Structure 1
Amino acid sequence: MTNENQTAGKKQRKLGLTSVILIALALGIVCGVIFHYLIPAGTMRDDIFVNGIFYVVGQGFIRLMQMLVVPLVFCSIVCGAASIGDTKTLGTIGVKTLIFYLCTTALAITVALCMGNLLNPGLGVDMSSILVSDTSSLDKAQSNNQTVADTLLSIIPKNPVNALASGDMLAVIFFALFVGIIISIMGRKVETVHRFFEQFNDIMMKMTSIVMYVAPIGVFCLLSRTFANVGFEAFMPMVKYMLGVLLALAVQCLVVYMIMLWLLARVSPIMFLKKFFPVMAFAFSTATSNATIPLNMETLERKMGVDRRISSFTIPLGATINMDGTSIMQGVAIVFTAQLFGVPLGPVEYATVIATATLASIGTAGVPSVGLITLSMVFNSVGLPLEGIALIMGIDRILDMTRTAVNITGDAVCTTVVAKQAGRINMDVYNDPDAGKDVDVPDAA
């Protein structure tokens, strides 16, 4: 019994990846500030550490993330699109659900871009001393004179293989959606192909989790180099970025969703929040949409009177394709990084961000921190340097927990609206404050 207690104690004392990344964030800032203010310039500081060890290890981590982007997004979107074949069983309900999810995601990214431009989190810091990993991405952003029509046409790839090789993400997403829909239509005839993409997607998710385990080292080196070059003034943009994401999430959850409930379903938003808050708290603690699926469905049925046949379709689908919170993070991050590195973004670039982030949400798995991988894809679509992710990654877990709560709230709002319009919600249960009080919230640990 003593050995079991000792083993349990060791497990409890073991730091999780989140804690290690946060420690690496703090140590990276401290180390960078020490190098900037206390260590004199010279070969040892500048050549061996700042532009040597810190640069090579940091850029190596960025390259690992770049390596994952295309195969991960392609396989995830193929699998996500292939799984929506069940819409046939729900007819117009399925179509409404898909349209609702895509519209709220596009609206979320728009809210985020507006919030980012309102707060200007990346202005006021000179980042010119930090070399970008790929200067061609900056050249692309600064020389992009495509019209909106050209941008729309470029979504359709002339050569899908070339689009995959060059990382043309809008074209990759379009082709992946096309393949996934065809797999869904053909069903059993292409069951082997479907299984291949599902298994390859599992491989990419495992690879992503492995890469995330070296994230603390990458974050430490990237932030050490950033603060060694810029100094402590680089800290304020991080605070403003975090504030921008949290405010945008609050607007989406407490304003946009509640207005939708009132206008489209004619139900009480206050009652919804009171009954759904335990699910939001559970999602916040786990930072994974997939883990909340059973509790979400149980709450909607027992506390709000939603027909199980509706929620059993809309909630799992939402955990796959409805990532409003993640899209908000990506929108604010785009503005933050563009301002930080002085990359101008025009209407075409903003339209590209909205389209890319909306389509990418279809392939964003409901697991912690995978949004950072798809964020690099959105960066690529408008030619932003990935160094901006280094500043974001250290504080991402806190934001990840918050945006997951928003993600699953969006799923529940959509389900409530669709069920109400289809006449498949018991309003007596919904309006009863004591309904479903025995629904248990599982331990997040």
Structure 2
Amino acid sequence: MIDTPKNLTRNILVGLILGFVVGAFLFYTNFFPSSVDAFVEKYIFKMGGDIFMNLLKLLVVPLVFFSLVTGISSLGSSQSLGKLTFKTVGFYLLTTGIAVSLALLAGSFFQPGSNYSSDIAMAAPSSLPQGQGIYSTIVGIFPSNIIQAMAENQMLAIVFFSIIFGLALNKTNHLTGNLSDSFAKLNTVFLQLIVMIMSFAPLGVFCLIGKFVIADGLDIFQDVLAYVVLLIALLLFHAAFTYSMFLKFIGGLNPLTFYRKMKDVALFAFSTSSSAATIPVTLRTVNQDLGVNQNVASFVVPVGATINMDGTAIMQGLATVFIAQMSGIDLTLFQYIQVVLLAVATSIGTAAVPSAGTITLIIILQQFNLPLEAIGIILAVDRVLDMIRTSVNVTGDAAIACIVAKTENQLDENIFNSKA
């Protein structure tokens, strides 16, 4: 059982408020000499924020690798790796692609960061690199040197290697003395490491927010409300509309019945902010209340907790557009396509623990040379948004479980349609 930090939401909010108050006090008053303000800005806010950012970046590659290898290697027998596997993974990737595309479209239309003006905009590059081209991007998925790919944070290459390594581990598990168990244990260690580092998030938020406020004053938050409102609207729309369309037109199921039976699971996911912690509740509801065969449920739901991160993909897509707009940069169509690919890939590798999606967002920002410092704004408001994202994720897990079971004739529709 992962030892999660206590009162993380409250502590992050306290860190946010203190960073805001201290930064604003130093920005708007001359109570201390300018040398003191400069010392606080550099050796408390900047240094503290940089250390926290380094700790987050430290986890990106091992987080993706061990999470994916563990999930893929635990798929079961070769029969489980057949039609059921491709159908499940295919549906999950499809909904994730829809999710991030929806976020990019909404971000481009509503322009939540277009009115932002700060040192970030002045420090950002005037234009983004045009990328390697479609040919190089596709070839880059298949690395010639996985160590180099990991060192350079080539996320698509890391995901590809993790998947084929997990498949090979699955097929040779009986020859290696259940080596997959060792990877599962290592994955547990890294999940705990994530939680340990996230326990410092209140201090990190204090430093990152204080760094922004002491430089820009109150103007730093002028567009955050637009980002938060738009992100919540997108999450709710995706959960209510996209999944309803899948349930109705692919599964032939009543979405209202599904949502009525999923409300307790969604609330539990909201309180825990962890898809993994919600797995037992999701499995019970999917099997006993929604009528999904136990064998199908026990495969689809855990795999979903590993690779189905629609809420995370929406956040990453919108946050990327938001930060690009803050920096005064217009993304090209090909760069939007790259964002979709990276958001899908990094959401797959995102651990099912609180706020892990913020860590993998760093990869996308690095890919486009966007200022990593701007992630402080995202992290400051991310805790509550992460709770909503987790509810969306587990709702997607259950919806895909029902659809896969229905297409495999493994769904008891009498149980699904019952009033209980």
Match of 2:185 in 1: 199
Match of 1:36 in 2: 27
Say if 2:204 is the partner of 1:213: no
Match of 1:442 in 2: none
**Aligned residue identity for 2:97:** A
Structure 1 residue 267, shift from structure 2 partner: 1.4
- Cα distance change of structure 1 residues 111 and 162 upon mapping to structure 2, 3 Å threshold: same
Structure 1 residue 398, shift from structure 2 partner: 0.6
Match of 1:438 in 2: none
**Aligned residue identity for 1:384:** L
Match of 2:43 in 1: 52
Say if 2:65 is the partner of 1:79: no
Structure 1 residue 269, shift from structure 2 partner: 1.0
Measure the CA separation in 2 of the matches of 1:170 and 1:359. 6
Q: 2:288 aligns with which of 297, 302, 308?
A: 302
Write out per-residue CA displacement over residues 287-330 of structure 1, whole angstroms, 9 at most, x where no aligned residue.
11122222222222322222222111111111111111111111
Structure 1 residue 103, shift from structure 2 partner: 0.9
Match of 2:15 in 1: 24
Say if 2:121 is the partner of 1:121: no
Structure 2 unaligned runs (5+)?
A: none
Residues 287 and 404, structure 1, Cα contact 8 Å, conserved in 2: yes
Structure 1 residue 202, shift from structure 2 partner: 2.7
Measure the CA separation in 2 of the matches of 1:186 and 1:69. 27
Say if 2:84 is the partner of 1:98: no
RMSD: 2.3
Structure 1 residue 385, shift from structure 2 partner: 2.2
- Cα distance change of structure 1 residues 165 and 129 upon mapping to structure 2, 3 Å threshold: closer
Match of 2:79 in 1: 88
SS class of match (1:84): coil
Report how many aligned residue pairs link the two structures: 416
Match of 1:419 in 2: 405
Match of 2:140 in 1: 154
Say if 2:244 is the partner of 1:244: no
**Aligned residue identity for 2:53:** I
TM-score by length of 1: 0.87
Measure the CA separation in 2 of the matches of 1:428 and 1:79. 35
Write out per-residue CA displacement over residues 190-212 of structure 1, whole angstroms, 9 at most, x where no aligned residue.
34653443333233222222211
Match of 2:215 in 1: 229
Residues 141 and 157, structure 2, Cα contact 8 Å, conserved in 1: yes
Q: 1:328 aligns with which of 288, 307, 314?
A: 314
Measure the CA separation in 2 of the matches of 1:42 and 1:118. 45
Map of 1:367-386 to 2, 5 A cutoff? 367-386=353-372
**Aligned residue identity for 2:88:** T
Structure 1 residue 245, shift from structure 2 partner: 1.4
Structure 1 unaligned runs (5+)?
A: 1-13, 436-445
- Cα distance change of structure 1 residues 196 and 127 upon mapping to structure 2, 3 Å threshold: farther
Measure the CA separation in 2 of the matches of 1:49 and 1:129. 19
SS class of match (1:89): coil
TM-score by length of 2: 0.92
Deviates more, 1:265-274 or 1:380-389: 380-389
Say if 2:163 is the partner of 1:177: yes
Residues 87 and 94, structure 1, Cα contact 8 Å, conserved in 2: no
- Cα distance change of structure 1 residues 338 and 216 upon mapping to structure 2, 3 Å threshold: same
Q: 1:401 aligns with which of 384, 387, 393?
A: 387
- Cα distance change of structure 1 residues 303 and 85 upon mapping to structure 2, 3 Å threshold: closer
Say if 2:247 is the partner of 1:261: yes
Provide the identity percentage.
36
Measure the CA separation in 1 of the matches of 2:367 and 2:120. 24
